[in-house]
Copies of this chain bind each other. A is one copy, B any other.
Amino acid sequence: MPDASCFKLIESAVPRTAEGQILLRTKFLSVDPYMRGRMNDRRSYVPPFQLGEIMTGGIVGEVVESKSGDFVAGDFVVGNLGWQDYSAAGRRGVRKINSEIAPVSTALGVLGMPGLTAYFGMTDIGKPKHGETAVISGAAGAVGMIAGQIAKIFGCRVVGIAGSDRKTKYLIDELGFDAAINYRSVLNLRNALKESCPSGVDIYFDNVGGNISDAVISLINKYARIPLCGQISLYNEPQISTGPRLQPRLLTFSALIKGFIVHNYEDQFDEGIRQLAFWLKENKLKYAENVIDGLENAPKAFLGLFAGENIGKQLVRVS
């Protein structure tokens, strides 16, 4: 488990921009569970962070100086950049945000990576159909809450799993989930799931892994689909975790499990954002943000993800 001592705040000069570049003042930075994986020195879908390097991640910034024909000062952009007050960026590293659709911070949430992750995982792998039952773990997180609402849009019964009564209440009262289970207070998760899913589980959108997933997968129906989005319960485990083997059940029920990362769908991002923005405008999608102020608090915000404190998208407001 990483702690505050893994991070250091350093002062240096504002970066200088080359021809074709823009200078950005960071407004918001995003902290995400996947960043934990990059802290291991291990081959994965993105190279590991190097010691002493600036942390990088999703950033919303305002253009304060432009040497590019594509941007003017005052534009808002989103990109994968450093945890710093100012960044220099080229055309290819950033995307302009339409700030008329929704607040610019949503480019890191419902209209950004978390929203797109939920959208592609649920529609391309989950393939929800009217009348089916979808279970979402990590349901009050930035991805989970969107995934669950998308399943509702398709007419599924949607059951969320989350770690506090405040969260389960939010899922039911604010987002319209049909049921929600606090895995920390329930006596027997499998029994609670059985009660909330009287027709079994057709889709399991998994953000957490571990024992929670064991319980859900023990209740899947024939042709169930399991989009594998995250495994946050295992990210800080020093060893490969063991558990009941999945294959016999997947075989018996002709079920599918598929890992994915949002970047697999990079060439469909525009479509995804248009779709999410449409649902947002139609009031079919709601989102929540949890904002901490100050660049110096970014490590605290990141570590809070593993304590399960946030409802919705965890952001750091930098300026």
Contact A248 B264 (CB under 8 A): no
How many Å from the CB of A216 to the closest CB on chain B?
12
* Contact of A251 (CB < 8 Å), options: B228, B245, B250, B252: B228
* Contact of A259 (CB < 8 Å), options: B206, B234, B251, B259: B251
Given contacts A45-B222, A222-B45, A244 and B240 within 8 Å (CB-CB): yes
Given contacts A231-B247, A241-B245, A256 and B257 within 8 Å (CB-CB): yes
How many Å from the CB of A71 to the closest CB on chain B?
33
How many Å from the CB of A147 to the closest CB on chain B?
15
Contact B231 A259 (CB under 8 A): no
Q: CA A89 – CA B249 in complex, angstroms?
A: 33
Residues of chain B lying within 8 A (CB to CB) of residue A213: 247
Number of copies: 2
Chain A at the B interface: SS class? mixed
Q: CA A253 – CA B249 in complex, angstroms?
A: 22
Say if the beta carbon of A242 comes within 8 Å of chain B.
yes
Contact B261 A254 (CB under 8 A): yes
Residues of chain B lying within 8 A (CB to CB) of residue A241: 244-245, 248
Known interface pairs A45-B254, A257-B258; 6 further A-B residue pairs with C-beta atoms within 8 A, sorted by A's residue number: A209-B248, A242-B243, A243-B245, A247-B259, A255-B258, A256-B259
Residues of A with Cβ closer than 8 Å to B? 37, 44-45, 206, 209-210, 213, 222, 228-231, 234, 240-261, 264
Q: Can you report 8 residue pairs joining A to B where beta carbons are below 8 Å apart?
A: A45-B252, A228-B250, A242-B245, A246-B257, A251-B259, A256-B258, A256-B259, A257-B258
